[in-house]
C-alpha cells in the first residue's frame, strides 16, 4: 500500500523569484523534485534553484497565465499535490483564485491540492491543524503530520468545543496517524471555543486549514471557464484571516472542492439555505 506521508515529494513552485532564500531552502528540504512554474516570462526561476539547491531535480512546468488558479491545475496535472507560492500581494484576490483553482482541479479528477504560502522567515513552534467550523480533511491532517515530521516538531490538533466534527477522506487521515506514530511524531489535542483565535494568538510554525465545499455560483452569462463567485464561506474566511495575521507559513488544503448553491430565502419561503 502506498504511504500517505512521504519523506520528500514532488513539489510545484510558483514564482520562485519572489521567495526568500530561506523559503527556498525549506521547500528544497521537502522536495524529491521541483516543478518550476512562473507567471512572468522575464524571470528564470529554474536558474535560482540551480544556484541555491543544485542537487534537487528540476522540471520546467512552463508559463502560467492564470496566476495561482491555473498553477494549481497545472501542478496537479504534473503529479504534484503541493504547490508552494510566495506571500500574496492581494490576499482576497489570491484566495478567490486559489479556491477556483481547487474547484477546477477537483473537476479534473484530482483528489486534493494543497497550497503552501511561504513566509520569508520561518517561525518556531509546532504545526497547528484546525477547522474553524468542525469540517476538516484527512489530507489536511496528513500534510500537517508530514511537515511536522520534516521540521522535527509536534502537531497541535485544535478542535472546536461545540459542533459536529466531520472529516472528508477520513481514511487518509487514519493512515497518516498510523504512519506518523511509527515515525515518532507527537500529536497534542486541544478543544477550544474559538480555534481560529487560538491559532492566531499561539506560537506555531505552520497553520493548516481545510477548504471543502464552498457556497458560490458561476454566472450564466459568463463564458466557459469563468471563475465562480464565492460568497462569504467560513472556511475560506478563516484562511483569509491566517494570510493576514498569522506569522508562520499557511497551508490551504482543498479536498475535492465543489460549489454549493445557496437558495435565496424569499419572504414567503421558510426553506433554509443549503
| Residues paired with residue 205 on neighbouring β-strands, in sequence order | none
pTM above 0.85, yes or no: yes
The rounded distance, in Å, linking the Cα atoms of 17 and 154 is 31
**CA 177 to CA 185: how far, in whole Å?**
9
- pLDDT at residue 75 in the model: 96
Among candidate residues 41, 47, 89, 88, the one with its CA nearest the CA of residue 65: 41
What pLDDT does 79 receive?
A: 94
Burial code of 99-133, b = ≥16 C-beta within 10 A, e = fewer? bbbbbbbbeeebebbbbbbbbeebeebbbbbbbbb
Q: What is the mean pLDDT of each run of 10 residues along the chain (274 residues)?
A: 89 94 93 93 83 89 91 95 95 93 91 94 96 88 96 94 79 94 95 94 96 77 71 87 97 86 42 27
Burial of residue 213 (CB within 10 Å: 0-12, 13-18, 19+) is middle
Length of the chain as a residue count: 274
pLDDT at 258: 80
Contacts of 47 (CB under 8 A, 6+ apart): none
Amino acid 220: pLDDT: 65
Amino acid at each position: 500500500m502506498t504511504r500517505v506521508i512521504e519523506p520528500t515529494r514532488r513539489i510545484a513552485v510558483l514564482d520562485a523569484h519572489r521567495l526568500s532564500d530561506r523559503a527556498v531552502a525549506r521547500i528544497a528540504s521537502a522536495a524529491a523534485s521541483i516543478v518550476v512554474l512562473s507567471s512572468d516570462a522575464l524571470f528564470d526561476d529554474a536558474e535560482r534553484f540551480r544556484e541555491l539547491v543544485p542537487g534537487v531535480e528540476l522540471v520546467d512546468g512552463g508559463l502560467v497565465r492564470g496566476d495561482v488558479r491555473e498553477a494549481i491545475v497545472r501542478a496537479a496535472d504534473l503529479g504534484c499535490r503541493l504547490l508552494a507560492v510566495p506571500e500574496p500581494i492581494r490576499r482576497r484576490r489570491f484566495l478567490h483564485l486559489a479556491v477556483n483553482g481547487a474547484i477546477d482541479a477537483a473537476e479534473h479528477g484530482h483528489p486534493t491540492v494543497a497550497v503552501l504560502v511561504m513566509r520569508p522567515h520561518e517561525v518556531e513552534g509546532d504545526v497547528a491543524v484546525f477547522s474553524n467550523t468542525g469540517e476538516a480533511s484527512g489530507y489536511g491532517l496528513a500534510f500537517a503530520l508530514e511537515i511536522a515530521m520534516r521540521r522535527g516538531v509536534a502537531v497541535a490538533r485544535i478542535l472546536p468545543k461545540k459542533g459536529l466534527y466531520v472529516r472528508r477522506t477520513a481514511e487518509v487521515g487514519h493512515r497518516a496517524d498510523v504512519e506518523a506514530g511509527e515515525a515518532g511524531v507527537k500529536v497534542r489535542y486541544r478543544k477550544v471555543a474559538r480555534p481560529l483565535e487560538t491559532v492566531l494568538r499561539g506560537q506555531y510554525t505552520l497553520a493548516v486549514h481545510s477548504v471543502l465545499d464552498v457556497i458560490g455560483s458561476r454566472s450564466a452569462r459568463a463564458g466557459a471557464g469563468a471563475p465562480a463567485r464565492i460568497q462569504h464561506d467560513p472556511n475560506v474566511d478563516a484562511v483569509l484571516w491566517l494570510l493576514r495575521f498569522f506569522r508562520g507559513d499557511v497551508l490551504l488544503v482543498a479536498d475535492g472542492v465543489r460549489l454549493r448553491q445557496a437558495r435565496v430565502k424569499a419572504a414567503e419561503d421558510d426553506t433554509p439555505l443549503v
